[in-house]
A and B are shown apart, each in its own frame.
Chain A
Amino acid sequence: MKFSVNWLREFVDLPENPEEIADLLTRAGVETENIETRGANVDKVIVSQITASSRHPNADRLTVCEVDDASGTKRQIVCGATNYKVSDRVPLALPGAKLPNGTEIRKSKLRGVESEGMLCSPIELGLGDDASGLLILPPDAKIGTPIGDLFPEDTILDVEITPNRGDLLSHFGLAREIAALTGKKLKSTPRESKIAIKKTGVTITATRECPFFSARKIDNVKVSPSPQWLRTKIESVGIRSINNIVDISNFVMLELGQPTHAFDADKLRGDINVRLARDGEKFLALDGKTYSLKPDNLVVADQERAVGIGGVMGGEETSVSDSTKNILLEAAYFLPASIRRTARNLNLPSDASYRFERGVDPEMILRASQRATELIQELAGGTPGKEINLAGKLPPNPADISLSYDKCDRVIGISIKPKAIDEILTGFGLKKTSAAKTTKWKIPSYRRDLQRDVDLIEEVVRAYGAEQIPGTDRSRYTASSAADHAHDLESAWRSRLAAVGLNEVRTSKLLPRERFVFSEGAIELRNPLSEDHVALRPSILVGLVAVLDRNIRAGAERVAIFEIGRTFIPPSGKEERHLGVLLWGNVAGAANWRSVSNRGVDLFDLKGALECVVPNLSFRPGKFPDLALPVDVFSGDRMIGFGGQLSSAKATASGPVFVAELHADLLLVPDELRKKFREIEKFPAISRDIAMIVPEEVSHEKIWRVIHEPREPLLESVELFDVFSGGEVGAARKSLAYRLTYRDRSRTLTNEEVNAAHAKIRERLRRDLGAELRE
């Protein structure tokens, strides 16, 4: 909310420097977000009226104005603006005036024509940033008045009021808080209403939603524009001036925090009844829109129809207009939850609902009504009724709260003297009703946020100053959790993938609907805000493909990326942690002076990347609609993911794109305890190579099985070291070369033993696969 410092000063003495006020409030949890200086601080600028205007004889863009400055003689001013008409009142800077931008005004000749001053735009007077033309003043601005009287200097504080502090949503309320924080006395408080009460003319049917309602009749008012002081005040904090009656209602709300509403009494048909709306009841509100109401909306009605949505907005039909003669002034208390529900469901937040849903001060209702009545009498004439009509009961005051000084010290962590605590709470308007070891405090009507002892302790912290509380060390031992283990394993995966040259990305878990999803559907949001974020990702690959596209557009020649994160599996939205990998472009980065050769990535680079993080993976041809070369990924007998080459229909990139996605939760299980030392080999190994030519369709996996089964005890390892086809190998055939390593862990092998074992393997390859072995 915006606050005028001038206005606050009417209630409490403030430091001269607005920064100091802001700092004081901010330290007490009432954050000042912005400080703005307003008003014209200029001498020798007055209200003038343009009485004639003619074209400048020597300049197309200039005019020569004749201006009345109340001195009796007209002045001649050369002017460059075009937004005025003769008879407008505008600011006139007299010779000798010094404008905020440094310009000094002198009598001078402009293109040969004498100019005895300058007509000013808002920006030239330091009033906002409008430089488009002259500042046109209201027609009732008195000619000759110093401009500073119309635009008094002021500082506007933009203060963030937290939702628990509805009592600060007024100038009086904030001044009361400042008084408590500074120990200063309030200069004035709103007078109690002494008016006689009449329990007729108003009935409440919805007593829960509206516990209390008052209406004051004021006859023979004259609706007209507000005087300048009133306009300046409400406009300075961002409220538009409408007419004197509406402005007064807004003024009282800004001053005291209690919204009021004025009805055109002659348009009301019979007594006021506050009730719940009928289902589908139509209502034309002040904003010009028709709302269809529901039975949980509270309405202020006459005997025939709703005339206001209680606490939210008045109706168009009964609003105050220029022809209004008699008014009915409403001041009421509404149930915060009801107001909030209505304002939200109708999407109709207002300054009034903002205050009612945070809870207004019951003790301020009739005072505000009285204040508004007096102002209407003063500014719009009118005769107030001798009585006020009301119905219902004011909500009770907040319950007393017990507080032990011990508890206060325990929560804050330091010892604060009981006397200091008492002073702080008393300063905030609380009254000690019991001085036993556990004190008891009466809570003022406007502090409905104070409900428990911890709320009082917070008040102590706010006033005492959080900076006065020294920090203490309460570190302690904590056993690791399952989440710790999961995190550490995930970190290890990240580090390994980065170590082999992949870049970690983090993509949005919210996706656009049309995006390629690698899954049957996705969990959709009921209330998305934009088309870019409508569903939860069922797969990580969607995001990776988008990252690929973006980087290709940016000129990347190699994209090797991965992401580990949550996915949401339809239909239940089960959250699974997945690893996604995407490879595109060359294996190595840009050519450099040491690079011998480069090549495009392929499926085996993808497999290699996955094998870096999960040992003993196996890959089998699979089925996947969006992949041209699909493989299923297995760990043991369990399928843990899929991968392959993206089908060209799905990829916008030129050149093959390889992707894989693994269900990480299945793999991220602690295995540290399984790592055990094994004695380092003492006896030498003997290696033998086998080069063979086999039909194209014989897979490495098949050859590998033939070599390994039945298990040859001396065979330690088998390494594929060469694969090629074409050329001398012949059509539909391929050549593979393996290095077989033999070892016995307990003795040195002889050549004869190795030769015998090796011969058996060669024979099996020949017999089982028809392999053509090369010597």
Chain B
Amino acid sequence: MTHPLEQLRDDALREIDSAPDKQALEAARVKYLGRSGSVSAWGEQMKTLAKEEKPVVGKLLNEVRAAVTASLESRAQQFRAQKESGALAKIDVFLPGTPHELGTLHPLTQMWERSIEIFRRMGFALADGPDIEDEWHCFDALNTPPEHPARNEQDTFYLRDGRLLRTHTSTVQIRTMQAAPPPIRVIAPGAAYRRDELDATHSPQFHQIEGLYVDENVSIADLKGALEFFMCELFGPGTGVQFRPHYFPFTEPSLEVYVKSKALKGGERWIEVAGSGVVHPAVFEEVNKARGDDAYDSQKWSGYAFGLGMDRLAMILFDIPDIRLFAQNDLRFLRQFA
């Protein structure tokens, strides 16, 4: 035989479940759990019960009260969910996100940052030197004495006082070695200048990263290892890297670096990206003379050096057809590299 409390519970749950709206649900709550509701009334009745009946009925009453409360909450949650989904259903999720006015970094900066980041992982520190240089740092110290066929004053911008704008960042090799004894492991990003007419592939101002590593027994194999790693990091795995003998006055042997990558336009063509080589002993000798010591003894130390053209690398990597775009700074151009 069911206890009247159980009957009461069943009635309440039935009524709550079928409450059509929030008002009806509130009415049901008042009816059963309100101060003078029927479940509450049982609480009063408890006082009149026999002592042995009290624990049994008390337990049952708690259960009934919990069941009714839970049912009320569950039905209320159903109403809230209905209301919520009704309101949200009207939102057009296809509307665009709130636009933020983000700025951009110049593609050359990005090229530089990317390169510097790779070289730093390889253990290179940064070095620096001035754009305005003297002939000694730009030519003589780099084994390009006056009347040397590679010393091309025609292609060099001179200032009125006889100084010049560096034609390559290799000047930083000399400045770094003047300032500190070996071992040296630096890269030097910077601008260089050549007396070229501005056209799609030449600019009087261009940008390079110079590299120099001087240590015991530094070899061509080490140079190859370093630049192969760099190029594969830059252009992606599977990049072909080729070294071709060449001539630079300040390295001997000298090698030009070519890459080939499916990621690049022109796919299977070798593209020249850098000049490099083993530091010429005459460069060490000039540095020693300037230092007044024998810190760069070519019997003990050897080194490799390289120079990468940043404009050219950025043009290759980003598929930019004209070097003039870099200095024009058209916002429509800059935003493409956001």
A and B form one complex? yes
The answer to whether A410 touches B302 (Cβ under 8 A) is: yes
Taking a contact as CB atoms under 8 Å apart, the answer to whether A412 and B220 are in contact is yes
CB within 8 Å for A469 and B244 given contacts A474-B215, A497-B103, A529-B204: no
With contacts defined as CB atoms under 8 Å apart, how many contacts are there between chain A and chain B in the complex? 255
CB-nearest residue of chain A relative to B109? Answer: A504
B331 within 8 A of A: yes
- The distance in angstroms between the C-alpha atoms of A573 and B302, with both chains bound, is 35
Which residues of chain B are within 8 angstroms of A28 by Cβ–Cβ distance?
245
Does B213 belong to the interface (CB within 8 Å)? yes
Among the 9-residue stretches B16-24, B73-81, B82-90, B251-259, the one with 4 or more Cβ atoms under 8 Å from chain A is B251-259
Question: CB of B38 within 8 A of chain A?
Answer: no
* Cβ–Cβ contact A476 & B159, under 8 A: no
Contact of A532 among B188, B198, B226 (CB under 8 A): B198
Whole-angstrom CA separation of A529 from B157 in the bound complex: 9
Bound form: Cα–Cα A568–B150 in Å: 28
CB distance from A627 to the nearest CB of B (A): 22
Question: Given the complex, which residues of A lie within 8 Å of B105, measured CB to CB?
Answer: 494-495, 498, 504
Query: How far apart sit A527 and B150, CA to CA, in the bound complex (Å)?
Result: 19
Which chain B residues border A529 with CB–CB below 8 Å?
Answer: 157, 195-197, 204
**Smallest CB-CB separation from A498: which chain B residue?**
B103
Q: How far is the CA of A483 from the CA of B187 in the complex (A)?
A: 10
B212-234 interface (Cβ within 8 A of A) = 213, 215, 217-222, 224-229
Judge if A478 is at the interface, Cβ distance under 8 Å. yes
Q: Mark B85-107, 1 if CB is under 8 A from A, else 0.
A: 00000000001101111111110
**Complex CA distance for A454 and B148, rounded to whole angstroms:** 19
* Nearest Cβ on chain B to A495's Cβ, whole angstroms: 8
| CB-CB contacts below 8 Å: B178-226 with A | 183, 185-186, 188-189, 191, 193, 195-198, 204-205, 213, 215, 217-222, 224-226
A559 within 8 A of partner (CB): yes
Contacts of B253 in A (CB 8 A): 411, 454, 457-458, 461-462
User: Is there an interface contact between B247 and A561, defined as CB atoms closer than 8 Å?
Assistant: no
Contacts of B154 in A (CB 8 A): 344
B262 within 8 Å of A (CB atoms): no
* A59 in contact (CB, < 8 A): no
Task: Decide yes or no whether A108 CB sits under 8 A from chain B.
Answer: no
Judge if A475 is at the interface, Cβ distance under 8 Å. yes
Contact A31 B244, beta carbon cutoff 8 Å: yes
Asked whether, in the complex, the Cβ of B198 is within 8 Å of the Cβ of A501, the reply is: no
Residues of A within 8 A of B46 (CB): none
The CA of A483 and the CA of B332, in the complex, are separated in Å by 32
Interface residues on A, range: 35 or more
Asked if B130 is an interface residue, CB under 8 A from chain A, the answer is: yes
- Tell me if A336 counts as interface (CB < 8 A to partner B): yes
Q: How far is the CA of A526 from the CA of B159 in the complex (A)?
A: 5
The answer to whether A474 touches B132, judged by C-beta atoms less than 8 angstroms apart, is: no
With a cutoff of 8 Å between Cβ atoms, the chain B residues found around residue A470 in the complex are 221, 224-225
- Please measure, in the bound complex, the distance between the C-alpha atom of A458 and the C-alpha atom of B249, giving whole angstroms: 13
- The CA of A344 and the CA of B146, in the complex, are separated in Å by 12
Instruction: Fill in one digit per residue for A445-489: 1 if any B CB lies within 8 Å of its CB, else 0.
Output: 000000010110110011000110111111111111111101100
Q: Which B residues, 123 to 148, have Cβ-Cβ distances below 8 Å to chain A?
A: 123-128, 130-132, 146-148
Measured between alpha carbons, how far is A487 from B116 in the docked complex, in Å? Answer: 10
How far, in Å, is A473 (CB) from chain B's closest CB?
5
Given A504-B104, A551-B331, A566:B243 Cβ within 8 A: no
Choice from B109, B196, B219, B220 contacting A506 with Cβ under 8 Å: B109
Interface centre among A357, A458, A469, by most chain B C-beta atoms within 10 angstroms, is A458
Q: How far is the CA of A410 from the CA of B255 in the complex (A)?
A: 17
Nearest CB of chain A from residue B167's CB, rounded to whole Å: 13
Cβ-defined partner of A594 (8 Å) among B99, B195, B328 = B99
Contact A481 B204 (CB under 8 A): no
Q: Are B106 and A506 in contact (CB under 8 A)?
A: yes
Measured in the bound complex, the distance between the Cα atoms of B160 and A469 in whole Å is 47
Contact between chains at A506 and B331 (CB < 8 Å): no
Pair A508/B225 contact, Cβ less than 8 Å: no
Which of B104, B204, B327 is within 8 Å of A507, CB to CB?
B327
* Given A478-B185, A499-B102, A593-B95: A454 and B327 interface contact (C-beta under 8 Å): no
Give complex CA distance A536, B163 in Å.
13
Tell me how far the C-beta of B270 lies from the nearest C-beta in chain A, rounded to whole angstroms: 9
Would you call B334 and A461 a contact (CB within 8 A)? no
Q: Which of A457, A497, A526, A554 contacts B158 (CB 8 A)?
A: A526
Q: Is B329 an interface residue (CB 8 A)?
A: yes
Q: CB-CB < 8 A to A414: which residues of B? A: 221
Segment of A37-45, A161-169, A243-251 engaged in the interface with chain B? A161-169
Tell me if A195 is interfacial: C-beta within 8 Å of chain B.
Answer: no
CA A700 to CA B121, docked complex, whole Å: 49
**Given A410-B219, A503-B334, residue A525 in contact with residue B252 (CB < 8 A):** no
What is the interface size of chain B, counting residues whose CB is below 8 A from a CB of the partner? Answer: 89
Q: Report the separation of the CA atoms of residues A507 and B325 in the bound assembly, to the nearest whole angstrom.
A: 10
Q: What residues on A are CB-neighbors of B197 within 8 Å?
A: 529-530
A524 is an interface residue with CB less than 8 A from chain B: yes
Which A residues touch B204, using CB under 8 A?
Answer: 508, 510, 529, 533
B278 lies within 8 A of A478 (CB): no
B126 to A484, Cβ gap below 8 A? Answer: yes
Residue among B153, B219, B246 making CB contact with A162, cutoff 8 Å:
B246
Complex Cα distance, B108 from A338, in Å, reads: 42
B242 within 8 A of A: yes
Beta-carbon contact of B221 and A27 below 8 Å: no
Q: Mark A371-406, 1 if CB is under 8 A from B, else 0.
A: 000000000000000000000000000000000000
Check B108 against A506 for contact (C-beta < 8 Å). Answer: yes
Q: Across the interface, name the chain B residue whose C-beta is closest to A347.
A: B154
Asked if B292 lies at the interface with its beta carbon under 8 angstroms from chain A, I say: no
Q: Are B163 and A573 in contact (CB under 8 A)?
A: yes
A411 contacts B132, C-beta separation under 8 Å: no
Q: Which residues of B contact A575 (CB under 8 A)?
A: 130-132
| B15 is an interface residue with CB less than 8 A from chain A | no
Residues of A within 8 A of B235 (CB): none
The answer on a CB contact under 8 Å between A556 and B149 is no
A-B contacts besides A413-B221, A470-B225, A566-B131, 15 pairs, CB < 8 Å: A337-B147, A466-B242, A472-B219, A472-B225, A476-B123, A476-B183, A494-B105, A498-B105, A510-B193, A526-B158, A529-B196, A573-B132, A575-B130, A588-B101, A594-B99
List 29 contacting pairs A-B, 8 Å CB cutoff, sorted by A.
Answer: A340-B147, A340-B149, A410-B219, A457-B252, A466-B224, A470-B224, A471-B226, A472-B221, A474-B226, A477-B123, A480-B126, A483-B125, A483-B127, A484-B126, A486-B128, A502-B103, A503-B331, A504-B106, A504-B109, A505-B106, A506-B109, A506-B329, A510-B205, A525-B160, A525-B165, A550-B329, A551-B331, A568-B131, A593-B96
Taking beta carbons and an 8 Å cutoff, which residues of B are in contact with A?
95-96, 98-106, 108-109, 113, 116, 122-128, 130-132, 146-150, 153-154, 157-160, 163, 165, 183, 185-186, 188-189, 191, 193, 195-198, 204-205, 213, 215, 217-222, 224-229, 242-247, 252-256, 278, 280-281, 302, 326-332, 334-335
